[in-house]
Structure 1
């Protein structure tokens, strides 16, 4: 199955890219510059594409971020520290982000005669992000069947949508993913901060998976305090 991967350069999507490279035929990785507060993860997406020897399609939506205001990922709003299960993390929602990205990805996949688009949303995202939930995935897939009716048949693959991030880490280890060559931190510093929601979730996932975490964190203790609350 010819598959296009939506890849941010984060742990989840890079693992997905390696998984699908082993199970399907990759036609490329697609990433988006939507005006997010840093571009570090996009560099890691490019590295993943080069490692897997597939094209990297970087779509410039940088002006869009200025209109999707109110999120700590696009505005000059402080990124909160803590676990994703905390209400404070709702400030990291970018409205309709996955719907926008998937719409573009499906157009590219149809034009390139691909069979599927794959996205790495997972069970840990459900609490905060409505466009990462199973109902959204099912509804978007149904919408695309209508949008491309008579022109192309492109499936939506979301193999992690009911799985945990610890499961993703285990999947990545099975496919020998170089975890150090992925980026999660929302703050975009020289090192992972170890305090924001994505850093806490990343550390917790490696811990629960029983796999050594190669990530260099500025704060190596905050995550344990956060998940103990």
Structure 2
């Protein structure tokens, strides 16, 4: 199955890229510059493509992103600290971002004769991001069959949509994903901040998976308070 992977440079999408390369035929990575707070994640996506030996397309969506206002990821709004299960994290929603990215990626796949578009949405995204939920991915896949009817057959591949980020860590480890060469933090500093929702979720995922987390965090202990894990419970 010839598959392109939407890759942000984070541990989820890079793990998915390594899985697709192992189990299917990875043809390219596609990333999006939508005017996010920093471009650091795109450098890690480029690194993943280089290591996997596939092309890396960066789609310029800055003009569109400028109109998707109100998010801490695109506007001058502080990124909140804490766990994704908190209401405050809804400020990190970029409206319709995944729907827009997937539409472009399906066009790229159809133009290049690919069979599938893979995205690493997972169960932990469901509370915050409506365009990561199974109802959306299933409806989107159906819509795309109609959009490309008679021209191309491309399906949406979402192996983690009913699974957790800890599951992604486990599956990524099986295919030797270089986790230290992925970037999750929303704040884009020298190291991962350890406090924003995606840092907390990343650290928790390695803990639940029973894997050593190679990430350097500015605040390596914040995740415990955010998730309720005590120091005595932490074995990694």
Q: TM-score, normalised by structure 2?
A: 0.96
Residue equivalent to 1:43: 43
Q: CA deviation at 1:64?
A: 1.9
Runs of 5+ consecutive residues of structure 2 not aligned to the other structure = 230-236
Q: Give me the whole-angstrom Cα distance separating, in 2, the residues matched to 1:87 and 1:143.
A: 30
Is structure 2 residue 192 aligned with structure 1 residue 192? yes
- In the TM superposition, structure 1's runs of 4+ consecutive aligned residues that sit over 6 Å from their partners are none
Runs of 5+ consecutive residues of structure 1 not aligned to the other structure = none
Q: CA deviation at 1:55?
A: 0.3
- 1:32-181 map, 5 Å: 32-181=32-181
RMSD, aligned CA: 0.7
Q: TM-score, normalised by structure 1?
A: 0.99
Q: Give me the whole-angstrom Cα distance separating, in 1, the residues matched to 2:155 and 2:134.
A: 15
SS at match of 1:30: strand
Q: Give me the whole-angstrom Cα distance separating, in 1, the residues matched to 2:189 and 2:131.
A: 27
Residue equivalent to 2:9: 9
Q: Give me the whole-angstrom Cα distance separating, in 2, the residues matched to 1:79 and 1:31.
A: 22
Q: Give me the whole-angstrom Cα distance separating, in 2, the residues matched to 1:185 and 1:64.
A: 23
Q: Give me the whole-angstrom Cα distance separating, in 2, the residues matched to 1:172 and 1:27.
A: 19
Residue deviations 1:22-69 (CA, integer Å, cap 9, x gap): 011111000000000101110000000010100001001112221100
Residue equivalent to 1:21: 21
Q: CA deviation at 1:116?
A: 0.4
